[in-house]
A = this chain, B = another copy of it.
Amino acid sequence: MNSHFSPVALEHASRLINHGPTVLVTSAHGASRNVMAAAWSMPVEFTPPRIAIVIDKRTYTRELASASGSFGVCVPGAAAADLTYAVGSTSGRDIDKFARFGIAAMAGPVLGLPLIEAGCVAWLECRLIREPHTEDAYDTCFGEVVSAAADPRIFEQGRWSLRGDNADLHTLHHLGAGNFACAGNVIQARPLAGEIAE
């Protein structure tokens, strides 16, 4: 594994998607592998780190994730907007998207999932928590994060650091139809008068 990412402690893993970025979902089973884009994901717990993600039951990703009991989540940076939209607009049943789009993948340290670092700023390996009803009724899959890493230029010591000098690494947030907002312009909230004990 030739990685420039740094490991993220599991208790900080949910923060990687806390702010609602669009992500890439990776999967593999036997000799097959795939990657798709998913705008719909969220953490559901910090400890243990668990997430929910919508993966349509008709997708190849869902088939591979169900078969293997695992999926990867990679967080693309602004520079990967075109790639994110491309893997979200094609089916892995028809093509190997890694080959077609020249995506370098490495094997995850715990589950061996294909993980993408070029153009991405973080990844998480997840064990699928089987929830047949929710998967069926809402296409909502739950997963427990078993390993995570991030680019230290933008996520360090458990915190995102979105600055003017790392704009290419800012996360993408899909507005629809290939339009992505980037997360930036960080505001630190100040206490309101009503919060101060009187």
Q: Knowing A44-B140, A142-B138 are in contact, say whether A15-B175 is a contact too (CB < 8 A).
A: yes
14 A-B contact pairs sorted by A residue (CB < 8 Å) = A18-B39, A45-B139, A78-B187, A86-B189, A86-B191, A89-B195, A95-B194, A101-B192, A162-B175, A173-B173, A178-B188, A179-B188, A181-B187, A182-B183
Provide the bound-state CA to CA distance between A133 and B134, in Å. Answer: 10
B192 and A187 within 8 A (CB): no
CB of A19 within 8 A of CB of B175, answer yes
- Count this chain's copies in the assembly: 2
A172 interface residue, CB < 8 Å from B?
yes
> Once the chains bind, are B52 and A19 in contact (CB under 8 Å)?
no
A186 with B180, Cβ < 8 A, contacts A18-B39, A43-B40, A140-B52 known: yes
B176 and A160 within 8 A (CB): yes
Is A100 on the interface with B (CB-CB < 8 A)?
Answer: yes
Q: How far apart are the CA atoms of A22 and B152 in the complex, in Å?
A: 24
Q: Are B42 and A41 in contact, with the CB atoms below 8 A?
A: yes
Q: Name A's interface SS.
A: mixed
Task: Find out whether the CB atom of A19 lies under 8 angstroms from the CB atom of B20.
Answer: yes
CB of A5 within 8 A of chain B?
A: no
Q: Using an 8 Å CB-CB cutoff, how does the interface string of A42-59 with B read, 1 for contact, 0 for none?
A: 111100001010100000
Q: Given contacts A44-B140, A181-B183, A186-B181, is CB(A176)–CB(B15) below 8 Å?
A: yes
